[in-house]
Amino acid sequence: MIKDQIQLTFDVQKIRDDFPILRRSVYGKDLIYFDNGATSQKPQVVIDAINEYYTENNSNIHRGVHYLSQLATTQYEEARKIIQNYINALLSEEVIFTKGTSDAINLVAFSFGETLSAGDEIIISAMEHHSNIVPWQMMCERKGCILRVIPIDQEGDLIMSEFDSMLSSKTKLVAVTHISNSLGTINPVEEIIEKSHKFGAKVLLDGAQSIQHMHVDMQKLDCDFYAFSGHKVFGPTGVGVLYGKKEILDQMPPYQGGGDMIAKVTFEKTTYNELPHKFEAGTPNISGGICLGTAIQYLSKLDIQSIQSHEQELASYAEAKLNEFEGMRIIGTAKKKTSVVSFIVDGIHPFDLGTLLDKQGIAVRTGHHCTQPLMDFFEIPGTIRASFAFYNTKEEIDIFISAVERSLTMLR
């Protein structure tokens, strides 16, 4: 990356110009999009890349000798290298294209799970998304393994002393979210990885909520697996990435069978392809992979530290304003947080408040956010979640706060 290509001065208005959807209206109001935890909006360069692929370059990859097939193959594999460089993976074949974070975790749960035996233990945390709970439950049922859960405190921090007591020679894998989608908690993943490795356990990080908010470096983290989704990092839906260390991926059996993941097929025996193709059966989401590379290139030209500072400033500003309301309760007050503000108001159902905010042009998320056990812990049905991206502004938060005040007046 050339240093002078990086936008060192963070200009939120200039960035907003890159996102055409931010100029639209909803119910006659300017759209205020605070649902970035669910999916991010796309810059024009990504939209153009999607259109260009289907207009100019559409073809299947890896199989054809003709011009378009060779061109699409080159673009797809270049995108893999762009992602490799961005996350600092050692090798491009350690970057596996998937359908998204859920698909990536399921891949590990099945394939790594095949190497496990009855009585082996998997550790997750109490704040996990369902996608980092259910695959492990399914794997434990299939293999006779034991699932253990790191508890959290009322602020939304992991109780690390409890984690320490769980680790043993039986621990084979620790799968935790890097950042909680419901609370915004930034977990101490470096400490988790170091402690897990001392017991010989592998570590998977759910990076669905982290890669778009902070710099991630696979060599510094030293995690064994890292999963993220394209649509949350300003790229297309239906594509994601599983990073895995080559020596571990080589030992894992394929997740699915089909075209491109084979070396040779006979009716008697099939031998499997090398990485990364062993885990990429069938025709992939070609445009998705290529345009995820475009999104990562776009992100790489911004200063990630400035993004972090801007987003954390937004979250702190929003929390301070929300706390002025009577009956307000912020859910998730961890010491280290990212730009997620989840809250409830006494006597008000989250769905009702979210619906009234929508009518005022403000997109927030309501419900349990696919973290039902977490909501059970806090003894609430769900929250209203405002999740910010680098294209959001304090001016939008001011409008949001006024809309909350107006809505509460109607509901009380």
CA dihedral of 230, 232, 233, 235, whole degrees rounded to 10: 50
* pLDDT higher than threshold 50 for residue 279: yes
The answer to whether the beta carbons of residues 40 and 27 sit under 8 Å apart is no
The pLDDT, as a whole number, for residue 9 is 59
**Element counts in the chain: helices (H) and strands (E):** 14, 17
Q: Indicate if the pLDDT at residue 7 is higher than 70.
A: no
* pLDDT single digits (tens) 204-246: 999 999 999 999 999 999 999 999 999 999 999 999 999 999 9
Q: What is the average pLDDT score of the chain?
A: 95
- Per residue in 355-365, pLDDT (tens digit) is 999 999 999 99
Whose CA is closest to 296, among 222, 386, 394, 207? 207
The pTM score is: 0.95
| Mean pLDDT score, 368-397 | 97
174 within 8 A of 204, measured Cβ to Cβ: yes
Query: Strand 365-367 to strand 383-387: parallel, antiparallel, or no bridges (unpaired)?
Result: antiparallel
What domains are there in the chain, each with its CATH number? Answer: 3-42+303-411 (3.90.1150.10), 48-300 (3.40.640.10)
Q: CA-to-CA distance for 389 and 39, rounded, in angstroms?
A: 10
Whether the Cβ atoms of residue 185 and residue 337 lie closer than 8 Å to each other: yes
Q: How far apart are CA 243 and CA 225, in angstroms?
A: 5
Q: Which residues are catalytic?
A: 370
Q: What percent of the chain has pLDDT over 90?
A: 91
